Structure formats: structure tokens, C-alpha cells
Amino acid sequence: MTYLPKPKVHHPDLPRNALGLTRRDYEGSLSTLCAGCGHDSVTAALILAFFELDIPPHRVAKLSGIGCSSKTPTYFLREAHGFNGVHGRMPALATGVSAARRDLWLVGISGDGDSLSIGLGQFCHAIRRRVRMVYILENNGVYGLTKGQFSASADIGSKSKKGEPNQQAPIDPVLLALSLGATFVARGFSGDKEQLVPILKAAFRHHGFAFVDVISPCVTFNDHEGSTKSYQYTRDHYKPVVHADFVPTHQEIVAHSEEGGVLDIRLHDGSVLRLRRTERDYDPTSRDAAYAYVRRHQDQGEVVTGILYIDSSPSEMHALSGTVETPLAQIPYEQLCPGGAALDQLMDSFR
Amino acid sequence: MPPTDVLNPSYYHRVVDCQWACPAHTNVPEYIRLIAQGRYSDAYLLNRESNVFPGILGRTCDRPCEPACRRTRVDGKPVAICRLKRVAADLRDDIRPRLPRAPSQKNGRRIACVGCGPASLTVANDLLPLGYEVVIYEKLSQPGGLMRTNIPAFRLPVEVLDEEINYILDMGVDLRLGTPVESMKWLLQQGYDAIFVGSGAPKGKDLNLPGRYDSDKVYIGIEWLEAVHFGHVERIEERVLIIGVGNTAMDCCRTARRLGGRDVKVMARRTRPYFKASPWELEDAEEEGVQIVENHAPSRFVVEHGRLTGMEFEVLQWYEEGGRQKSRTVDKVIVPCDAVILAIGQDNAFPWIERDIGIQFNEWDMPIVDRQTMQCSLPGVFFGGDAAWGPENIIWAVAHGHQAAISIHNHCQGIPLTQRPPQRMTLTSTKMGFHEWSYSNAYSPAQRAKMIHVDLSERFQRLNIEVETGFTPEQTASEVERCLNCDVQTHFTAPLCIECDACIDICPVDCLTLTTDGPEEQLRLRLTVPARNLKQPLYVSSPLKQTGRVMVKDEDLCLHCGLCAERCPTAAWDMRKFNLLIPYAGHE
Ligand SMILES: Cc1cc2nc3c(=O)[nH]c(=O)nc-3n(C[C@H](O)[C@H](O)[C@H](O)COP(=O)(O)OP(=O)(O)OC[C@H]3O[C@@H](n4cnc5c(N)ncnc54)[C@H](O)[C@@H]3O)c2cc1C
Ligand SMILES: Cc1ncc(C[n+]2csc(CCOP(=O)(O)OP(=O)(O)O)c2C)c(N)n1
Ligand code: SF4
Ligand code: SF4
Ligand code: SF4
Ligand SMILES: [Mg+2]
């Protein structure tokens, strides 16, 4: 944490995006997290992703629960909408915002405690409901904010700062999301923005529920020797399988050979997601294959990262419920709630 | 790239742009911090150590430090380094008790200096405290050289000059005024242990065009200014043309405005970006109603019936050919005038140095002087200031003086001149606590303070009314905070880094990158923001332990805000104050 605000000056050569903004225009207020916290790097990656996607900051809604991770929406996009809710309830908020304002970009930030302990039920149902959002789980294996108790993502045998090993089996949010039918599942690492930023950009382009688990070390309570969520451990067991390059709609798609492990996926809006696989036969479009692969490598102690599964024509909440295109919040009240007589009429039709 | 060797003092020195650019390597950020703390005397003495004449230079320095100042690259305008120096000088207490003193016990060595300008005075300043006897021969009746005779009093008050020159003279210089050295041969026979030639470049260039000698209203700039200084000239005609657009031209035109010149024009051959005068000098002249005329090359003095009535010029048009500027004449005009001042440069002249005594001269009739030792081809004879390589400025004369003093000391001790005392450094952490640093690390967005000038009507009343009033306390308080403290270095300890990216994410000006190593040209393009300013170095770490990548810092725009160090969980980055220990004569 610093007491000095980051000065407003920036490098004169800083690139500007289609909106004429620099990356600095996507920042938020000063972070109060510990110096070196992985969550701050995820924030930096999000800033880059929003900037590179030319997303207007005021068209974004940031939602979160409780935890160090859940504090981070304050640290990016100071012009965006935001709601910092109660512990584990971010998915409920997101569902509501999505229902009322389907025209906004939604980003939910959560932690392993927030999503896998108190909020596990909420997390599962947001996936089932297919809320169109980017759901980021900043995963550090501990409850950082409450001083480092093991969370539900801690591996068996991973040691606490005082040296005690964790004995309970972990919940792997990637496997959970896959099994519950999430249409975009990825894992990144806060210490590798080269991989993380393209993942986030792809997630924002996904027309459905996009889940991104980010290994994000807690530098204060879980970065010691014996921890399986430290910077060093993650780097030693890091296995990127699918890199993403995002090709925007207006750019010509250059032909490629399957040889290099390249796979193009056409997205909902006509743009193309170009995946480069480090393992030739990894198939990120097969849920079963992805599940099996991640399981297998987890047993070998490897942290598999990349865009692990993607459904290129996903369905999402509004399509499922047949809602109108206009955001509900923008429909005149009389129309949205036509009154007692209309209700009676409706009820009658069910008799 | 090989890891940067930051233990070599020149690496961090180069990061302190102003100090690196200053010929005398004045410790600018440190004196600015002292001013900020109200320690004006300390700031003055720190200045004096390297530049000897803070009060004079705080008004007149050519300030090579300012164009170099990092702040220019950050917000367009450098810190007002020079005028802050004046603040320290103006507000200092009586510092005489703290000045170096000459010992009563002399070391038995006698040194002669020719000329009493800033170069010789610096030599005396450095050698007297070591017990040398220093004799200065000066042709004129007053000490100070061009600082006194040519820099007008409205830029440099005579009291300021006297005070700082006297600090040196009072140490016991044997000053012989009105005593020109007319023969080097003679001087060599006087039994001095070493001789320093600081006689300047005393000859103003002439312009031999038709009509030059048909009128007595054509003056040579530096001679005319000297005559004004000594009161031999008190008026000038109404319409005056100044030929040339260097520093001398600026002083001539402004002096002419004070002596009755109403229509004063500075005639330049070239366009503004190529002028020798600094932008601020041009501004000051124009403020006083001087007209600056570009692209006019003089071709003839127009003298009618023995009276100068004007000057003929070729009007030039400049264009580029093969990367060089060329001109063609597009017109001829006569500009009417009553007097002309030639300010087209100075020449050296050594009529008093015999050419058969072992002092070699080159094809331009300049003595051959060694750039490092300041010695000419005759051992024991040293040159410095404008006498060495032609006209420069005061701060260069001072820098030469320091080096010559080291050489003279070596010479007298029988130590080879090339065996110079080394530069050293200290590097001290400024960390005081979790978020506390021993310097003001917050970035101030303040704009450069603008010097207040005396009203036009008032300033023309007398020749010696100082135009610049100095900064107000409020201006000083704001200006000191603009300094980025470039001497507080971002110092990296590679084995501590866990590659968390915190420093990279926080850096407001994107100086930092973690990347795979490579050749410099490639590395420069691969950084968070490409490092295109090749004048600024990259700081490259040794390979890091987790990924083998390197930490690269582009020094170019670093605000020295310390945010990287505050964000670093392991203190791999630390903010350390670099202090360059500059050797002077007598240092080991
Ligand atoms: C009009 C003008 C304005 C200037 N303004 C500035 C300015 O604003 N800032 C700046 O930094 N620089 C300025 N300069 C340049 C600066 O004054 C000189 O570069 C500097 O004074 C050189 O110092 P010096 O010690 O080498 O010689 P000088 O200052 O030239 O001193 C040489 C001395 O040697 C004496 N001398 C010469 N021959 C002999 C002899 N044979 N025997 C005895 N004595 C002799 C001379 O009388 C003179 O006093 C200006 C120069 C001019 C002409
Ligand atoms: C209802 C409720 N129960 C418990 C808490 C205490 N609490 C605050 S943060 C937190 C865990 C946060 O862990 P995680 O989501 O992993 O965030 P991190 O700090 O690790 O980023 C807990 C249990 C709370 N704030 N509210
Ligand atoms: S306690 Fe851990 S998770 Fe929380 S800010 Fe500090 S390092 Fe980050
Ligand atoms: S001190 Fe550090 S954070 Fe500040 S500008 Fe320099 S490198 Fe960047
Ligand atoms: S903040 Fe410190 S530990 Fe983290 S990358 Fe920078 S130097 Fe390394
Ligand atoms: Mg956590």
C-alpha cells in the first residue's frame, strides 16, 4: 500500500485507443492492498484488456463481494458503475444488474473464499443461469483479508505460514465451472500478463458466462515455501496449454496451418479468436476433453492455464428467458409493470 | 545486455541529467532540497564547491543543465535551476567564516596566473587553501574578466561580482592590476613553479565589408561594452543595428536601448532555431523593444558624405540540400541606421606568447592543450577558460580552472598529470519507514515559475538597474518541488525480486519491464513503452531467479517518485541517494 496517489503524468508515447484514451484513463483509485499482492496485477491486466478492447469505462458495471480480491474494483475504471455487496453474494448482484441493464459490460470480481466457501451456491447458480458476464476468481488459496486462513481452494498438504499442512480436499473452480456447464472456462496467473490479458479480452468478447480463475498469490500470507499458491510454486508448476490472440471483426483473417496448433474460433459478433495450442491434440471445444486434461494434470501437480474450454455459440440468460432487447431499466414503468388489471388478465389466462 | 554496473559512479551520475550536463557537475538536486528546507547558506556553499560563483552564475549562467533537465521531458519546461541558485545566493547569511582559508604556513610553491577572469580565479580558489602562493597578472584596472567588463550591470550587479571575487582575493591572492603580461618568455624566467593562462578570448571579430572604415560609428561589440563599463561611452545614436545574434549581441542591443537607442535591430543571417543566443535572452531583448530580423546577411556599410546612413543586406532564403542548410539571395535591402555594433564573435590572440619557447600552436594559431590535463606542450604551463579552446562561458572557465588546479598540484608534487584523483560516490537508502522517504517524493504538477522583471519605464532609468527581481518566496516554494530528485536513484537488488509485477504496474511513466534479455536495440523496442530516447541509458539487472528474465528500467522519464520501491514487497527496489564525490586539487 502507498500513501502517495499515482501522479497523473504519463509517458508521452503512451498509445491511445479508438476512443482516444490511454491506458491510464482506465485506472481507479489507489490500491490499499499489500505491496506485491497478485490481485493488483490482475487489476493491471483488466485495465489493459478494457483499454485494448476500446470499452468506454462508463459502460461497465463492476460487482464484487468481500475479500481483498473483492476490494479491487475500486482500483480500476473510476468512471464505471459499481456495487460492492456482501460476502459471497456478487453473483446475485450480477444477475440483477444483467436483468436490468443488459447493455452494460459486466465484470464480477471474487476470491476463492468469496466464491468457493460462503458464496459457493451463488457461484454455481450464476453459471447455471448463464448470466452474461466475466466472472473473475482471484485465487490465492487463503482468506487474505482475514489474515490467511486456508480457503476451499487450498491443496492438500499446502502449508500455512506457520507450517501447518492443509488436510481438506480442494475445490477446483475450473473443474466445477466445467461440470456445471460454463460456456467459457479459463485459468491464468497474475504473474503472466502476456497470457492473462488476451484471456480477459476473449472473455469479454464471449457472449455468455465467462469464467476466469486467476492464480493470484497472497504475498503476505501465502507466498512462503511449502505453499502451493506462491509465485515460485506457480512458476515451477505452470503449464500453459492454449494461448489466445484476439482478431477483431474489422481485421482480415489470415489463413493458417493446423500444423502450428492454431485454431480459429468465430465468435458471436463475427470476430475471431485465434488459439495457439502448445499441445497439438488439446481440444478446447470439448468439455469432456478439457475436464479430463485438467484432472489428469492436476494429479501430476501441474497448474494448467490458458483458455481451457470455449463454446462458440453459447446461450445466455436473456436468450433463455426471452427478454426484450431493451434493457429493462430503460422501459417506462407503466409498460414494465402494467398494473393490477393486466396481472388479473394474465392470471386468468392460466386458469 | 550485460547487467548494468551501477557501482561505477558514472552510471548514476548520468541519471542526474543536470549534474551530468553541468561542466562543473554541480549537485543540483541536493542544493534544491537544501533551499526547500530554507538552508540557503548550505545550498550556497554546496554550489560554491563546484561552481565557485553561485551569485554570479545564478544570474548569468548559460545553464547547460536546464535543457538537459528531466522535467523538460516530463512536462515541457525544465526546473528553474539557475534562478534557484540565485535564491540560495540572495538569501544566504554571511558565510565568510565557513569559507576555506589559506594556511599561514605556505608550501613554498608559487603559481602565476595570466588574466583575472573566472578561470584564473578558480585556480587561485583551489590552490590557496593548499598553501600555494598565487600571483595574478591582470591587464585591466579591475578583476573579473569579461564577467565585469562585458556582462552588463542590469544582468549582474557589481556588488554580487565584488563579493564573490573578494572571497577568493581575500584568501591572499597577490593581484597585480594594470599589469599586462607582455612576454611569456619573461614570465617563464620569473621562477614560478607553474603558469596558468586564463587570458580569455579578448579580440572581437571585425567585419571587413565596403565602407567599414569610412565612419567612426561602427563599433566592435565587446570593446564597446567594455567602454560602456568603464564610462568611456555614455550615449549611442538613435537607430542602431547589431550584427550577429549571439550572447554578445543580446547584451549590446539591450545596452543600446539604455543609452539612447530607440530603434534597435538585431540582424541575423539565419532563422531563429539556429540562433546562438538562448531563447530566454531573445525574449528579454524583445520585451525591451528590440527587433530581431532574420535572414539578413550584411554586404556593405552605406556612408554618405562621411556619415553612416545605413547598411546594405542580402535577404536570404534557406533550404536544405544533402542534409545541409544552404542559402540563396532573394533580395537586397538597405536598412537605415546611425550606428552599427558588430557582435559576430570573439577571437583568441596571443601576441605576447613567443612562438619559439616550446609552446606549440596549431593551424588556427591556437595553443595545443590537452583536454584532460589542460597542459600545453610546455610542461608546467596550463591553459583554461576562453584561452584554451576559444570562447565558452563562465561555468566552463570554472570547470577548466578546477582541472588545471589538480594538474598544477600534481605537477608540483611530481605526480603524473594523468594520474587524477578518482570520482567516488556514496549511495544511501532514503527509506525512513513504511511510506516515508527522506526526500519529497510526491510529484508536484506545478508549472515553471516565471521570473518577474522590473517595469520597462523604471529599468531604462539607469544602466545598472537589475532587471530580474528574483523569485518570490511563493515562487521558490513551488519551484523547488518541481525538481524530480534525480539523484535519489532507483537501486535494484536482483536476488530479492519475486517478479510480482507490482513495480511495473504502479510506475506512472512506464519505466519498468520484466522481459527476456537481448541485445540493446531489441530490448529498447520490447519495453512497456519503447525506449526511443537513445541518449538515456537502460538499467538492466542480472537474470532473476524465478524465470531468468531481467528487470529493465528506461531511465528516460523516471520521476524518482519511489512508488516502485513502495510497492515492492521485498525491497528489491530501493530509493538510494547518490552523492558524487568530485575530486579537487589536494584530494587523494
Ligand atoms: C558580452 C558578453 C556577455 C557574456 N555573457 C555571459 C553570460 O551571461 N554567461 C556566461 O556564462 N558567460 C558569458 N560570457 C562569456 C564569459 O564572460 C567568458 O566565457 C568568461 O568570462 C571567460 O572567462 P576567462 O577566465 O577564460 O576569461 P575572461 O573573463 O575573458 O578574463 C580574461 C582576463 O585576462 C585579462 N588578460 C588578457 N590578456 C592578458 C595579458 N596578456 N596579461 C594580463 N591580463 C590579460 C583580460 O583583461 C581579462 O580580464 C559573455 C561574454 C561576452 C563577451
Ligand atoms: C458474512 C461474512 N462472513 C465472514 C466474513 C469475514 N471474511 C471477510 S473476507 C473473508 C474471506 C475472503 O477470502 P477471499 O474471497 O479468498 O479473498 P482474499 O482476501 O483472499 O482475496 C471472510 C471470511 C465476512 N466479511 N462476511
Ligand atoms: S493479505 Fe494477501 S490477498 Fe490481501 S492484500 Fe495482502 S497480499 Fe493481497
Ligand atoms: S521512481 Fe520508480 S515508479 Fe517512480 S517513475 Fe521512477 S521507476 Fe517509475
Ligand atoms: S515489485 Fe519488487 S519483487 Fe515485485 S517485480 Fe518489482 S522489483 Fe520484483
Ligand atoms: Mg483468497
Q: Which residues in chain A have Cβ-Cβ distances shorter than 8 Å to B529?
A: 11, 13-14
- CATH classification for the domain delimited by A23-321, as one of 3.40.50.970, 3.40.1010.10, 3.40.50.300, 3.40.50.720: 3.40.50.970
Query: Over the stretch A172-183, which tens digit does the pLDDT of each residue have?
Result: 999 999 999 999
Whole-number Å distance, alpha carbon B499 to ligand 2 midpoint, is 26
**What is the pLDDT at residue A277?**
83
**What is the pLDDT at residue A253?**
55
Q: How confident is the model at residue A256 (pLDDT cuts 50, 70, 90)?
A: low
A289 C-beta closer than 6 A to ligand 3: no
Average pLDDT over chain B reads: 96
Q: How confident is the model at residue A258 (pLDDT cuts 50, 70, 90)?
A: low
**What is the pLDDT at residue A263?**
83
**What is the pLDDT at residue A254?**
56
- CATH classification for the domain delimited by B100-199+351-413, as one of 3.50.50.60, 2.60.120.1060, 3.40.720.10, 3.30.450.20: 3.50.50.60
Q: How confident is the model at residue A267 (pLDDT cuts 50, 70, 90)?
A: confident
Would you report the helix, strand and coil content of chain A in percent, each value rounded to 5? 35, 20, 45
Cell representation of residue B284: 528579454
- In chain B, the residue whose alpha carbon lies closest to the alpha carbon of A3 is B435
The residue length of chain B stands at 588
User: What global pTM score does this model have?
Assistant: 0.92
Q: How confident is the model at residue B588 (pLDDT cuts 50, 70, 90)?
A: confident
Percent of chain B past pLDDT 70, that is, above it, reads 100
* DSSP secondary structure letter of residue B517: -
- In chain A, the residue whose alpha carbon lies closest to the alpha carbon of B510 is A11
**What is the pLDDT at residue A206?**
93
Mutation to probe ligand 4, out of B501, B507, B514, B576 (largest number of atoms < 8 A from CB): B507
**What is the pLDDT at residue A246?**
67
A37/B contact by beta carbon, under 8 A: yes
Q: What is the mean pLDDT of residues B560-567?
A: 96
A219/B contact by beta carbon, under 8 A: yes
Q: What is the mean pLDDT of residues B242-270?
A: 96
Regarding predicted confidence, which is higher, A242 or B182?
B182
Q: How confident is the model at residue A244 (pLDDT cuts 50, 70, 90)?
A: confident
* DSSP secondary structure letter of residue B446: P
Contact A40 B435 (CB under 8 A): no
Q: What three-state secondary structure class fits A155?
A: coil
Contact B567 A36 (CB under 8 A): yes
Contact B500 A36 (CB under 8 A): yes
Q: Would you tell me the crossing angle of helices B221-229 and B247-258 to the nearest 10 degrees?
A: 50
* Main-chain dihedrals φ then ψ at residue B270, nearest 5 degrees: -115, -175
Q: Does A158 score more than 60 pLDDT?
A: yes
B493/A contact by beta carbon, under 8 A: no
The closest of B35, B50, B15 to B482, measured between CA atoms, is B35
Residue A226 to residues A142, A233, B113, B545, Cα–Cα distance (Å): 14, 8, 74, 18
Q: Does A255 score more than 80 pLDDT?
A: no
Contact A10 B508 (CB under 8 A): yes
CA distance B273 to chain A (A): 23
Give the ipTM. 0.91
**What is the pLDDT at residue B555?**
97
Same CATH fold assignment for domains B100-199+351-413 and B204-346: yes
Average pLDDT over chain A reads: 93
Helix or strand holding residue A138 (H, E): strand A133-139
Q: Does B159 score more than 60 pLDDT?
A: yes
DSSP calls for B187-210: HHTT--SEEEE-----EEPP---T
Q: Does B514 score more than 90 pLDDT?
A: yes
Q: Which atom from ligand 2 is nearest to the alpha carbon of A114?
A: 15
Helices (H), B4-111: 9-15, 17-21, 28-36, 40-51, 54-60, 65-68, 70-75, 81-91
The closest of B305, B314, B307, B306 to B334, measured between CA atoms, is B314
Regarding predicted confidence, which is higher, A118 or A300?
A118
Whole-number Å distance, alpha carbon A313 to ligand 3 midpoint, is 37
Q: What is the mean pLDDT of residues B519-537?
A: 95
B570/A contact by beta carbon, under 8 A: yes
| Residues whose beta carbon lies within 6 Å of some atom of ligand 1 | B 60-62, 114-120, 137-140, 145-147, 150-151, 180-181, 198-200, 202, 222, 225, 247-248, 251, 352, 385-387, 391-395, 397
Contact B498 A38 (CB under 8 A): no
Query: Over the stretch B406-416, which tens digit does the pLDDT of each residue have?
Result: 999 999 999 99
**For chain B, domain boundaries:** 100-199+351-413, 204-346, 494-571
Contacts of A32 (CB under 8 A, 6+ apart): A1, A71
Q: Which residues in chain A have Cβ-Cβ distances shorter than 8 Å to B510?
A: 10-11, 14
State the count of interchain CB pairs (< 8 A) between A and B: 95
Whole-number Å distance, alpha carbon A71 to ligand 3 midpoint, is 10
Contact A2 B506 (CB under 8 A): yes
Q: How confident is the model at residue A247 (pLDDT cuts 50, 70, 90)?
A: low
Q: Does B495 score more than 80 pLDDT?
A: yes
| Residues whose beta carbon lies within 6 Å of some atom of ligand 4 | B 490, 506-509, 511-512, 558-564
Q: Does A106 score more than 90 pLDDT?
A: yes
Number of H helices, E strands in chain A: 12, 12
- CATH classification for the domain delimited by B204-346, as one of 2.40.50.140, 3.40.630.30, 3.30.465.10, 3.50.50.60: 3.50.50.60
Residue B311 amino acid letter = M
A109 C-beta closer than 6 A to ligand 2: no
Query: Over the stretch B539-559, which tens digit does the pLDDT of each residue have?
Result: 999 999 999 999 999 999 999
Beta carbons of B36 and B484 less than 8 angstroms apart: no
- Distance of alpha carbon B201 from alpha carbon B116, whole angstroms: 13
A7/B contact by beta carbon, under 8 A: yes
Q: Does B58 score more than 90 pLDDT?
A: yes
A220 C-beta closer than 6 A to ligand 3: yes
Contacts of B4 (CB under 8 A, 6+ apart): B11, B537, B538, B539, B540, B541
**For chain A, domain boundaries:** 23-321
Cell representation of residue A25: 484513463
Q: Does B80 score more than 90 pLDDT?
A: yes
Q: Which residues in chain A have Cβ-Cβ distances shorter than 8 Å to B546?
A: 231-232, 235
Strand partners, B303: B308
Q: Which residues in chain A have Cβ-Cβ distances shorter than 8 Å to B557?
A: 11
Contact A6 B563 (CB under 8 A): yes
Q: Which residues in chain A have Cβ-Cβ distances shorter than 8 Å to B508?
A: 6-10, 24
Q: What is the mean pLDDT of residues A210-214?
A: 98
**What is the pLDDT at residue B432?**
94
Q: How confident is the model at residue A250 (pLDDT cuts 50, 70, 90)?
A: low
Contact A7 B508 (CB under 8 A): yes
